[in-house]
Amino acid sequence: MSLSKSADAPLLQRAKNKLRRMLGPWGVFFTGFLKHPVMVGSVIPSSRFTIAKMLAPVDWDNTKLFVEYGPGIGTFCQPVLDKLRRDGTLIVIDTNPDFIAYLRRTIKDSRFHAVHGSAADVAEIIGSFGFDHADYVLSGLPFSTLPDGVGPAIGKATGEVVRPGGAFLVYQFSAKCRDYMAPYFDRIDQGFEFWNILPCKLFWGWKAEDKS
């Protein structure tokens, strides 16, 4: 008698798959956390309150390119696509190949591009789509647990790609990211969202308008 493939799978893997199916997108996120706890940095996606507050200051009429670092299972992606111009582009970048595969499978929108890579390479990544700057960059990266040197490199790379008048939008459990933003942004606004697990800090790093 031949055994089916699923019967061959180790018990733990089958249990994980079952849990993932039961929990849907949250299961994909939770499994991602179990595999890479330090890189993912959170067990539950951001709340709708965090999404609304973080995106509130965005000038959507003047947004041609919106970039997101660390989209996970895409908690922010649909809300961004709902507001983005019809000729706009959303590029999301994540180091976790499982999340990127999930996003490519579930988000069917010609304005949307999911890239497997590091936020530190944002200039090269947006360049491969024909852009030399972004209007806004959003980050859900766990800055306080990233490997040494990665946070400052991402702050610098982001400072170089955001256009004058644009902004770097960051939500975090700690204020560590502010240190990485401060050298490259002219003004940093700060907020707080209680209705999130855990409650989080919000930062908007603005580049001054080009006066020339």
Ligand X SMILES: C[S@@+](CC[C@H](N)C(=O)[O-])C[C@H]1O[C@@H](n2cnc3c(N)ncnc32)[C@H](O)[C@@H]1O
Task: For residues 22 and 198, give the distance between their C-alpha atoms in angstroms, rounded to a whole number.
Answer: 23
In the complex, the smallest distance separating the C-beta of residue 62 from ligand X, rounded to whole angstroms, is 24
96 binds ligand X (CB under 6 A): yes
Q: Between 150 and 188, whose beta carbon lies closer to ligand X?
A: 150
Spatial CA neighbour of 56 closest among 45, 65, 48: 48
Spatial CA neighbour of 40 closest among 30, 49, 50: 30
93 binds ligand X (CB under 6 A): yes
41 binds ligand X (CB under 6 A): yes
List the structure tokens of 205. Answer: 């790093």
DSSP H helical segments within 24-121, as ranges?
25-35, 37-40, 48-55, 77-83, 97-106
42 binds ligand X (CB under 6 A): yes
Give the residue nearest to ligand X (CB): 70
Question: How many amino acids of this chain bind ligand X (CB under 6 A)?
Answer: 24
Let me know if 186 is exposed, middle or buried by CB neighbors in 10 A (0-12, 13-18, 19+).
exposed
- Work out which of 30, 66, 99, 136 binds ligand X, going by CB under 6 A: 99
Radius of gyration of the chain (CA): 18
Q: Between 105 and 211, whose beta carbon lies closer to ligand X?
A: 105
- Work out which of 28, 30, 45, 193 binds ligand X, going by CB under 6 A: 45
- Cβ atoms of 114 and 78 within 8 Å: the answer is no
Q: Pick out residues in 141-200 that bind ligand X (CB under 6 A).
A: 141-142, 146, 150
In the complex, the smallest distance separating the C-beta of residue 60 from ligand X, rounded to whole angstroms, is 19
Q: Between 56 and 208, whose beta carbon lies closer to ligand X?
A: 56
118 binds ligand X (CB under 6 A): yes
- Other CB atoms within a 10 A radius of the CB of residue 99 amount to 23
Q: Which residues bind ligand X (CB under 6 A)?
A: 39-42, 45-46, 69-72, 75-76, 93-96, 99, 118-119, 140-142, 146, 150
